[in-house]
């Protein structure tokens, strides 16, 4: 699960709505949970951004990435694959000096390398590839407690394997499952959460 701290299974904040327990009381997490997490996301650029940010999150808390997302978008050219694919040594140096993002050389290099792969794809190909691994809602029951939510699935393992076969980096099964959750390819809102469909 992409969001970090496991608290109680459901939490209810000031508006009286029950939410997945990882949200806690943080306003940014509440907004992200209510407006983004688990909602179907399409488009090569949007999914490339999500894939990149999930890669940057590896080993860190998701709230850190969420709070730095506006700066990430600014310095990575809105995550337009063609723009990022053209980054060179000067851009890498600029990114490594920017305290507003996660300054991890391997993750920066992977984002640029991944952008080059996406830029070589036909329009809509990344979207179709990622969504081809989406799980049907009837394959497993809605999680009742946080412990029911897996870190990986057969689908995220398959997606990771296919992306790595194509040369993508920082796309391990756990990272890809977090992408699948956040982009709505799987619905892991807990039973009783107001966002559960």
Indicate the pTM of the whole model: 0.92
- The verdict on whether residue 20 carries a ligand-binding annotation is yes
- The answer to whether residue 162 is catalytic is no
Dist. CA 94–CA 137, nearest whole Å: 43
- The answer to whether residue 194 is catalytic is no
Domain borders along the chain are 44-183
Tokens linked to 3: 């969001």
Tokens linked to 139: 């394959």
Element (H, E) at 31: helix 27-35
Q: pLDDT of 127-186, one tens digit each? A: 999 999 998 766 678 899 999 999 999 999 999 999 999 999 999 999 999 999 999 999
Q: Are 56 and 72 in contact (CB under 8 A)?
A: yes
Judge: domain 44-183, CATH 3.40.50.970: no
pLDDT score, position 6: 43
How many Cα atoms within 13 Å fall on the side-chain side of residue 127?
Answer: 10
Dist. CA 170–CA 102, nearest whole Å: 14
Residue 190 pLDDT > 60: yes
- The verdict on whether residue 42 carries a ligand-binding annotation is no
pLDDT score, position 51: 98
């Amino acid at each position: 699960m992409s969001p970090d701290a496991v608290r109680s299974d459901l939490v209810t904040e000031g508006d009286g709505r029950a939410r997945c327990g990882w949200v806690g009381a943080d306003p940014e997490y509440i907004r992200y949970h209510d407006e983004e997490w688990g909602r179907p996301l399409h488009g090569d650029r949007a999914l490339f951004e999500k894939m990149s940010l999930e890669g940057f999150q590896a080993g860190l808390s998701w709230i850190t990435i969420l709070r730095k997302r506006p700066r990430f978008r600014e310095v990575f050219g809105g995550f337009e694959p063609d723009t990022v694919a053209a980054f060179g040594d000067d851009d890498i140096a600029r990114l490594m000096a920017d305290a507003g993002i996660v300054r991890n050389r391997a993750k920066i290099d992977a984002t640029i390398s991944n952008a080059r792969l996406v830029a070589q794809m036909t329009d809509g190909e990344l979207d179709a590839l990622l969504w081809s691994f989406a799980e049907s809602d009837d394959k497993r029951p809605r999680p009742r407690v946080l412990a029911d939510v897996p870190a990986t699935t057969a689908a995220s393992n398959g997606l990771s394997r296919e992306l790595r076969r194509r040369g993508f980096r920082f796309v391990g099964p756990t990272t890809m499952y977090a992408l699948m959750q956040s982009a709505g390819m799987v619905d892991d809102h807990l039973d009783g959460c107001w966002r559960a469909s």
